[in-house]
């Protein structure tokens, strides 16, 4: 069943249907998590959804509705069926970011990375490879992020590539692979999403280019593109309501000339009619609010659209919901969410057990067809320690020949196409890899060796631990620094975020969720190079409830001796809280207990911000306060006790009035609700579902019509939710 996407209509109202979301228990379990084959971290707790080590940055969809999803690390494409079911991954030889994906009319998938454009079958067999004239050699960092820059469009006779590192669009002849133009974008701005199509009522092909830095989409006459071509139109992407300056990322254009644009900064999708005025007529999502519920987005980097063929997939949008680590399928016309699928980390080999009948990757593998890598290429030292030799590894499938390419620090070395590599002074301290392409009569497949460090390697060692930065409150993003490390070659890093010792993420950043409130969050960084690996863990932070106005990990440790629960808040929604303790200067220890008799007292170890995690004794009734007692050990104040108390809020808010009225030429939803703490959000929908529109609580809201607000419910600051109430 589907879900309702948040939808703002700028031209006409639409009626949406919804269905309840599914709920699934996650049993307690013990999980051993392998970190890139070097370190294992064993955790005990509640099972979490599978987490990928990268987030989707590019997406394509074929005629069957199968999504192909690319990542910044390359190596494989994830696949999702039209029903939202994960399929086996597709191995690719690109070891750089997949900055563009598109499926053509024959369901062949085009992939562009830093230095090549590749055409694949659905099972990953390489049909064709084109070397880009000017590879992207800049670092994939905040300044040149593959989430924001770089893209691909496939036209009838040409291929178009937006460079990630330069403000140009490269044009290649589709039949010969020859570069025919490098179009410089105005002001040197770099492009992202590309789309080929026709404007509304137009007869000639157009190339649409998203320019994130300019918050604009440029339109070019595709048939006459040359090095000095200028856009025939520039369309400013305006901010939605009170949103921020947009960052347009992905683009699609359908057969009727409807242009669809994803906005990573405002977490939204916009639809434009490309007639004379390029009018925006629909906004999808909940701009400018990021969210993880179905129908919400968080920094979408790309999108794809199924052809409008009159079938069940006609015009559907497939969205790379980047920060949420998932793909969503939406209806572009009515704001309907068919599914939202979180993706496992893509792996280049094996068949997904969720789909043993996958027609593109059957098991066991076929014994005929293109070569398959059984063991990867391997670099060894040649004679005199001045050359490297690439062993092609072992292959199955009737290999006929091998081709070699050498890379220094991930950049292709021009002219180095043999099985041996002569070392040069510039290679000192660099990592050299060998890429082998095996070819037989039915196709080609590429595999890449592990890097060879030129010099004497040494294992990583932490010289300063990682740090968590950001304000630890719900919906805020925390960042984990790598810390400082010694070792050569420079280590590669992976991340493990733990919530009370249970893994919750494996990316450098983490967005705080409701389940984190009152829990202890840490980030472990694993540094790995060819000489070994090591790990280091940050100090813990403890997110607090929304609206307390306190940052539990900041503030001086000065003032009179005291203890505060949850920053001095009056109420809490969880027994897991943070204590802030200011001890006498001469105290040698701190004891804490939930009882005045100090039964089962615990010794507190404070962080640098004078905080410590604590679990309260929850009373039977919310009206009964829960108290924490703290006693000093040692010094002149030894034996003295300070305390603080807090009440729980586990009671749902209550709606006392809910009406829809027409006043001053607009419909208004008027709701009055009460709660023992405070009402935080209001949700209204056409039916009693878990969807519809959610926004901050106000007693009067503007709505499109009475039909979209037949039912309403509210939630307080601690997540307690009222029942649905029918509006009058």
Say what percent of the chain tops pLDDT 90: 27
- pLDDT, residue 560, reads 72
Distance CA 96, CA 71 (A): 9
* Mean pLDDT, rounded, of the chain: 79
- pLDDT, residue 627, reads 92
Strand order in the sheet with 693-696: 693-696, 679-685, 711-716, 725-726
Is 512 or 695 the better-scoring residue by pLDDT? 512
Question: Is the domain defined by 562-648 classed in CATH 2.60.40?
Answer: yes
- The DSSP secondary-structure symbol of 724 reads P
* CB-based contact 45:501 (threshold 8 Å): yes
- pLDDT, residue 183, reads 93
Chain region(s) in the chain for CATH 2.60.40: 12-45+461-542, 372-453, 562-648, 654-726
Distance CA 442, CA 372 (A): 12
Q: Is 548 exposed, middle or buried (0-12, 13-18, 19+ CB in 10 A)?
A: middle
- pLDDT, residue 6, reads 44
- The DSSP secondary-structure symbol of 1 reads -
Could you give the angle at the alpha carbon of 180 between the alpha carbons of 174 and 185, nearest 5°?
110
* CB-based contact 209:187 (threshold 8 Å): no
Is 16 or 518 the better-scoring residue by pLDDT? 518
pLDDT interval class at 415 (50, 70, 90) = confident
pLDDT in tens, 597-606: 888 888 887 6
pLDDT in tens, 287-309: 888 888 888 899 999 999 999 88
Whether the per-residue pLDDT at 475 is higher than 60: the answer is yes
State the number of CA atoms in the 13 A half-sphere of 172 facing the CB.
Answer: 22
Within its chain, how far is the Cα of 307 from the centroid? 26
Q: 567 — phi, psi (to 5°)?
A: 70, 20
Whether the per-residue pLDDT at 610 is higher than 80: the answer is no
The predicted model gives 178-198 an average pLDDT of 91
Residues 6+ apart with CB under 8 A from 379: 388, 389, 390, 391, 432, 433, 434, 449, 450, 452
pLDDT in tens, 650-660: 889 999 999 99
Within its chain, how far is the Cα of 618 from the centroid? 36
Whether the per-residue pLDDT at 47 is higher than 50: the answer is no
- pLDDT, residue 399, reads 65
- pLDDT, residue 437, reads 87
* CB-based contact 94:101 (threshold 8 Å): no
pLDDT interval class at 76 (50, 70, 90) = confident
pLDDT interval class at 552 (50, 70, 90) = very low
- pLDDT, residue 528, reads 81
Chain region(s) in the chain for CATH 2.120.10.30: 49-319+333-342
- pLDDT, residue 19, reads 31
Strand order in the sheet with 502-505: 502-505, 492-499, 521-529, 532-537
Strands 151-154 and 158-162: antiparallel
- pLDDT, residue 305, reads 95
- pLDDT, residue 142, reads 64
- pLDDT, residue 345, reads 57
pLDDT in tens, 448-459: 888 888 888 888
Name the residue among 4, 2, 10 with its Cα closest to residue 704: 10
Distance CA 420, CA 402 (A): 13
The predicted model gives 257-267 an average pLDDT of 93
* Fold category of 372-453 in CATH: Immunoglobulin-like (2.60.40)
- pLDDT, residue 198, reads 80
pLDDT interval class at 335 (50, 70, 90) = low
Question: Where on the phi/psi map is residue 569: left (φ > 0), alpha (ψ -120 to 50), or beta?
Answer: beta
pLDDT interval class at 549 (50, 70, 90) = very low
Tokens of 20: 């309840």
Question: Is the domain defined by 49-319+333-342 classed in CATH 2.120.10.30?
Answer: yes
Whether the per-residue pLDDT at 93 is higher than 50: the answer is yes
- The DSSP secondary-structure symbol of 346 reads P
Q: 631 — phi, psi (to 5°)?
A: -125, 135
- pLDDT, residue 28, reads 26
- pLDDT, residue 133, reads 80
Whether the per-residue pLDDT at 164 is higher than 70: the answer is yes
Question: Is the domain defined by 654-726 classed in CATH 2.60.40?
Answer: yes
* CB-based contact 279:295 (threshold 8 Å): no
Distance CA 597, CA 628 (A): 11
pLDDT interval class at 136 (50, 70, 90) = confident
Whether the per-residue pLDDT at 724 is higher than 50: the answer is yes
Question: So what's the architecture of 12-45+461-542 in CATH?
Answer: Sandwich (2.60)
Q: CB neighbours (10 Å) of residue 474?
A: 18
Whether the per-residue pLDDT at 648 is higher than 50: the answer is yes
Q: In sequence order, what DSSP letters do the residues of 506-530 get, joined into one string?
A: -SSEEE--GGGTTS-EEEEEEEEET
Per-residue 3-state assignment (H helix, E strand, C coil) for 205-239:
CEEEEEEHHHCEEEEEEHHHCCCCCCCCEEEECCC
The predicted model gives 484-500 an average pLDDT of 82
The predicted model gives 195-207 an average pLDDT of 82
Is 27 or 69 the better-scoring residue by pLDDT? 69
Q: The pTM is what?
A: 0.47
Asked which of 241-245, 361-365, 578-582 is least confident by mean pLDDT, the reply is 361-365
- pLDDT, residue 558, reads 59
Candidate ranges 150-154, 522-526, 662-666; pick with highest mean pLDDT? 150-154
pLDDT interval class at 689 (50, 70, 90) = low
The predicted model gives 483-503 an average pLDDT of 81
Helix (H, G, I), strand (E, B) or coil at 427: helix
Distance CA 514, CA 527 (A): 30
Distance CA 350, CA 88 (A): 7
The predicted model gives 177-183 an average pLDDT of 90
The predicted model gives 238-253 an average pLDDT of 91
Q: CB neighbours (10 Å) of residue 365?
A: 13
Candidate ranges 53-57, 246-250, 340-344, 454-458; pick with highest mean pLDDT? 246-250
Distance CA 542, CA 548 (A): 13
Distance CA 321, CA 519 (A): 27
Name the residue among 29, 61, 58 with its Cα closest to residue 43: 29
Name the residue among 648, 606, 657, 654 with its Cα closest to residue 627: 648
- pLDDT, residue 346, reads 67
Whether the per-residue pLDDT at 443 is higher than 80: the answer is no
Strand order in the sheet with 151-154: 151-154, 158-162, 168-173, 179-184
- pLDDT, residue 67, reads 96
- pLDDT, residue 256, reads 84
Distance CA 308, CA 314 (A): 4
Helix (H, G, I), strand (E, B) or coil at 385: helix
pLDDT interval class at 519 (50, 70, 90) = confident
* CB-based contact 272:238 (threshold 8 Å): no
């Amino acid at each position: 069943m589907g879900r309702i996407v948040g939808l703002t209509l700028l031209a006409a109202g639409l009626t949406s249907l919804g269905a309840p979301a599914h709920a699934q228990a996650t049993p307690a379990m013990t999980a051993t998590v392998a970190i890139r084959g070097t370190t294992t971290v064993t955790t005990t707790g509640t099972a979490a959804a599978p987490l990928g080590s990268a987030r989707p940055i590019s997406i394509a969809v074929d005629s069957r509705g199968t999504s192909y999803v690319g990542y910044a690390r390359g190596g494989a494409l994830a696949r999702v069926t039209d029903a939202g079911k994960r399929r086996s991954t597709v191995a690719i030889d690109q070891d750089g970011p997949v900055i563009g994906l598109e499926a053509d009319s024959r369901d062949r998938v085009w992939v562009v990375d830093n230095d090549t454009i590749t055409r694949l079958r659905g099972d990953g067999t390489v049909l064709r490879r084109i070397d880009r004239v000017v590879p992207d050699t800049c670092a994939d960092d905040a300044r040149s992020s593959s989430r924001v820059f770089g893209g691909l469009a496939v036209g009838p006779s040409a291929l178009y590539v937006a460079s990630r590192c330069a403000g140009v669009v490269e044009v290649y002849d589709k039949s010969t692979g020859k570069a025919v133009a490098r179009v410089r974008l105005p002001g040197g701005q770099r492009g992202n999403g590309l789309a080929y199509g026709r404007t509304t009522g137009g007869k000639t092909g157009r190339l649409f280019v998203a320019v994130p830095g300019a918050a604009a989409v440029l339109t070019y006459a595709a048939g006459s593109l040359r090095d000095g071509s200028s856009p025939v139109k520039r369309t400013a992407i305006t901010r939605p309501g009170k949103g921020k300056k947009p960052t347009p990322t992905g683009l699609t254009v359908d057969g009727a000339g409807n242009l669809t644009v994803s906005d990573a900064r405002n977490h939204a999708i916009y639809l434009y009619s490309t007639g004379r005025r390029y009018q925006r007529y629909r906004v999808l999502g909940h701009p400018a609010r990021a969210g993880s519920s179905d129908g919400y987005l968080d920094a979408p980097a790309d999108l794809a659209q199924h052809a409008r063929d009159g079938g069940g997939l006609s015009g559907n949008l497939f969205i790379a919901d980047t920060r949420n680590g998932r793909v969503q399928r939406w209806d572009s016309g009515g704001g309907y969410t068919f599914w939202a699928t979180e993706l496992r980390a893509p792996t280049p080999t094996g068949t997904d057990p969720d789909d043993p009948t996958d027609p593109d990757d059957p098991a066991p593998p076929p014994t005929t067809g293109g070569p398959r890598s059984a063991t990867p290429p391997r670099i060894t030292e040649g004679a005199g320690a001045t050359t490297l030799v690439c062993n092609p590894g072992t292959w199955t499938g009737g290999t006929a020949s091998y081709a070699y390419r050498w890379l220094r620090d991930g950049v292709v070395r021009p002219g180095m196409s043999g099985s041996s590599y002569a070392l040069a002074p510039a290679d000192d301290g660099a990592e050299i890899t060998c890429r082998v392409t095996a070819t037989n009569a039915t196709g080609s497949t590429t595999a890449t060796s592990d890097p060879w460090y030129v010099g004497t390697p040494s294992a990583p060692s932490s010289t300063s631990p990682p740090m968590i930065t950001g304000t630890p409150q719900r919906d805020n993003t925390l960042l984990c620094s790598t810390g400082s490390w010694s070792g050569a070659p420079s280590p590669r890093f992976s991340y493990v975020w733990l919530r009370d010792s249970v893994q919750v993420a494996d990316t450098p950043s983490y967005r705080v969720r409701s389940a984190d409130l009152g829990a202890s969050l840490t980030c472990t960084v694993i540094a790995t190079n060819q000489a070994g690996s090591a790990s280091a863990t940050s100090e813990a932070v403890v997110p607090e409830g929304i609206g307390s106005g306190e940052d539990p990990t900041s503030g001086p440790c000065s003032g009179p001796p005291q203890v505060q629960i949850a920053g001095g808040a009056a109420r809490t929604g969880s027994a897991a809280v943070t204590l802030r303790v200011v001890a006498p200067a001469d105290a040698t220890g701190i004891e804490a207990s939930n009882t005045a008799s100090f039964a089962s007292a615990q010794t507190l170890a404070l962080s640098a911000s004078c905080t410590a995690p604590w679990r309260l004794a929850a009373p039977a009734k919310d009206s009964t306060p829960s108290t924490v007692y703290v006693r000093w050990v040692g010094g002149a104040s030894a034996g003295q006790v300070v305390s603080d108390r807090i009440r729980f809020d586990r009671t749902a808010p209550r709606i006392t009035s809910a009406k829809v009225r027409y006043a001053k030429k607009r419909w208004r939803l008027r709701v009055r609700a009460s709660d023992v703490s405070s009402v935080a959000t209001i949700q209204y929908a056409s039916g009693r579902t878990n969807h519809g529109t959610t926004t901050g609580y106000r007693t009067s809201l503007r709505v499109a019509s009475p039909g979209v607000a037949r039912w309403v419910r509210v939630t307080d600051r601690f997540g307690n939710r009222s029942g649905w109430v029918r509006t009058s």
